[in-house]
Structure 1
Amino acid sequence: MLLRNRLHSLQFVSLLSPPSSSYSISAKPQPFILSLRNNISSSARWNHSQDISASKTTESPSVSDTTRFVRNVLFVPPGVDPDEVTEDMVLPGSNIVIGPYAGDAKIKQVEFVKSSGRAKDCPKDDRPEFAILGRSNVGKSSLINSLVRKKEVALTSKKPGKTQLINHFLVNKSWYMVDLPGYGFAKASEAARMDWSSFTKGYFLNRNTLVAVLLLVDASVPPQKIDLDCANWLGRNNIPLTFVFTKCDKMKGGKGKRPDENVRDFQELIRENYEQHFPPWIMTSSVSGFGRDELLLHMSQLRNYWDQ
């Protein structure tokens, strides 16, 4: 069975309701909780309040608020009973529960393999891979360099849209990290943007070794419609994804919102198109290293499940 179907059958992927015709980016979001009610203390990181009973759910009234929250808000991987999730199982700054498939997450070796202009030219072995995708200037290359603890593994540039090919990096000789072209760079021609859409979507739809897409979202700015559109397209096509919020160290002053507030706003907007089982998400900073080890641990449990 294809990985995509295996993950879908285990509710790794959320089913999307038809997307709304427009996004109310300026709409005031409802309060959102990022920690376990009852099981997690009110002082937990990024804790907010939420009336869980008002959330969309098909659960029986006899199901406890905590259980309903765990099933509909947290990312619970295979091998974990939602009724047994505790505070110490949830990664800081995320909704990700760590289960028995989590293993050695250290990156010991990384090497560039090839750049491909078409999906069919990508490496043809059976190694699992994670695709890293995001709007131009979201900090994609910086995150890759932070994950592997090497400078210039991915090409960083102050000029958006620098990466124009599908770049495969082999990690520990066992799995791939795939650097995809950034989307939404304003100075690109319409033809170039269409070419990006065509060959990148072809990669997503035809890559059977794809474990998950790491969709990077800039937490230092308000939610962007282009990111919401990309997330909804991936969801409609049953492609597993993890939201990786970048630049979480950039604390805004004055009228600007803090990163955790922008993260909350984004989650509330994307939730409008997810019926249940919100995708995994995690907050990161390539500057401070916040979220680095946790993201790698999350990737390890997805990869180890794929490898079984």
Structure 2
Amino acid sequence: MVLLRCRSLTINLSPLLPSHFQSHKLHTTRLFRIPNLISLPQISASSSSLPTNNQTTTTTRSISDAARFARSVLFVPPGVDIEEITEDMVLPGSNIVIGPFAGHSQIKEVVFVKSSARARDCPKDDLPEIAILGRSNVGKSSLINCLVRKKEVALTSKKPGKTQLINHFLVNKSWYIVDLPGYGFAKVSDAAKTDWSAFTKGYFLNRDTLVSVLLLIDASVPPQKIDLDCANWLGRNNVPMTFVFTKCDKMKAAKGKRPDENIKAFQQIIRENFKQHPPWIMTSSVSGLGRDELLLHMSQLRNYWDQ
């Protein structure tokens, strides 16, 4: 446990069921549970009476340890005092703290705008956009359909690699979801793969309206080198990202690993390359797990960008 302003944040490895993932409202007192995907400092402090000098020293050190933990493990958005974080501010199934920039996250309208073969052909209306990226069979289109709660907003296919363009979807007439080509299993020529890689990287490096990238990771399989390479490339180029673990309702028998074990293994590798852990969240397009929480996280990213 870690003490956060005289309150304890319990990291629990118990499976998270869909009933835990209901709409989250800011400043609730509900206790959220998040998976034990990181090792926590052992911190204790007593608040039952007025502290002595020794107790004061202990409490101060504990709060400092909690702040250190928050900086290295939790995603703390702007406007949040690290030493004021309490467990009800952490979204379930994630390391994401909700702050004052979180706002309206309901999707009322979504409209396909255009497909672009080059970054310079993308919409030029200066609206914020959040891009979705991942391996070709990671469930990218299914997640988009789950977020907007409309079937076939993004084309799903049993043949991975169908998306070969940058696709913009206008949400609530105010921001974009951007569906990027999947990587890894596209059935295209080597030349086309090279061009695809070039224009995708050009989008990341030159798109001023890009708020963040949702990097989708298949939690039903062990960590994949291609995903780690992509995460490291984004990190080296200072592209903001959130790890979105998909298929958290599945376990592939041949692999013998549960999603939480695969997520833990992935994060252990990430911590070796990142001083501060990027935000992450567990999802399932089948059960809807994590949907509302992810939308709330996306809202605070957009709102801060829009300031």
User: Scaled by the length of structure 1, what TM-score is found?
Assistant: 0.83
Call closer, same or farther: CA 1:232–1:48 in 2, change over 3 Å: closer
Q: Give the corresponding residue for 1:40.
A: 9
1:304 is the counterpart of 2:303: yes
Call closer, same or farther: CA 1:42–1:264 in 2, change over 3 Å: closer
RMSD, aligned α-carbons: 1.8
TM-aligned CA deviation for residue 271 of structure 1: 1.3
Call closer, same or farther: CA 1:303–1:49 in 2, change over 3 Å: closer
Q: Which amino acid aligns with 1:69?
A: F
Deviations 1:115-157 (A, max 9, x none): 0001100001110000100001100000000000000000000
Q: Which amino acid aligns with 1:37?
A: V
TM-aligned CA deviation for residue 282 of structure 1: 0.4
Q: Which amino acid aligns with 2:9?
A: I
Q: Give the corresponding residue for 2:68.
A: 68
Call closer, same or farther: CA 1:146–1:104 in 2, change over 3 Å: same
Q: Which amino acid aligns with 1:113?
A: V
1: CA distance, partners of 2:282 / 2:102: 19
Deviations 1:31-67 (A, max 9, x none): xxxxx624223543313562548xxxxxx98863322
Q: Which runs of 5+ in 1 are unaligned?
A: 1-35, 54-59
Could you list the structure 1 runs, at least 4 aligned residues long, displaced by more than 6 angstroms after superposition: 60-63
- SS where residue 272 of structure 1 aligns? helix
2: CA distance, partners of 1:65 / 1:252: 38
Deviations 1:183-211 (A, max 9, x none): 01164322121111100000011000000
Q: Give the corresponding residue for 2:263.
A: 263
Deviations 1:262-299 (A, max 9, x none): 1111011111111x221100000000000000000000
1: CA distance, partners of 2:232 / 2:11: 32
1: CA distance, partners of 2:38 / 2:205: 38
Call closer, same or farther: CA 1:125–1:48 in 2, change over 3 Å: closer
What is the 5 A alignment of 1:249-288?
A: 249-253=249-253, 256-274=256-274, 276-288=275-287
Call closer, same or farther: CA 1:164–1:221 in 2, change over 3 Å: same
1:242 is the counterpart of 2:239: no
Q: Which amino acid aligns with 2:2?
A: R
Q: Give the corresponding residue for 2:189.
A: 189
Aligned length, in residue pairs: 266
User: Scaled by the length of structure 2, what TM-score is found?
Assistant: 0.83
What is the 5 A alignment of 1:165-184?
A: 165-184=165-184
Structure of larger gyration radius? 2
From 33, 39, 53, the equivalent of 1:50 is 39
Call closer, same or farther: CA 1:63–1:253 in 2, change over 3 Å: same
1: CA distance, partners of 2:278 / 2:111: 30
Deviations 1:230-259 (A, max 9, x none): 001111111100000000000344761110
- SS where residue 64 of structure 1 aligns? helix
2: CA distance, partners of 1:245 / 1:48: 13
Q: Which runs of 5+ in 2 are unaligned?
A: 13-32, 43-59
- SS where residue 133 of structure 1 aligns? strand
2: CA distance, partners of 1:123 / 1:186: 25
Is the CA contact (8 Å cut-off) linking 2:221 and 2:252 kept in structure 1?
A: no
2: CA distance, partners of 1:136 / 1:149: 21
1:150 is the counterpart of 2:140: no
Q: Which amino acid aligns with 1:292?
A: R
Call closer, same or farther: CA 1:129–1:255 in 2, change over 3 Å: closer
- SS where residue 178 of structure 1 aligns? strand
1:233 is the counterpart of 2:233: yes
2: CA distance, partners of 1:109 / 1:42: 36
Is the CA contact (8 Å cut-off) linking 2:211 and 2:301 kept in structure 1?
A: yes
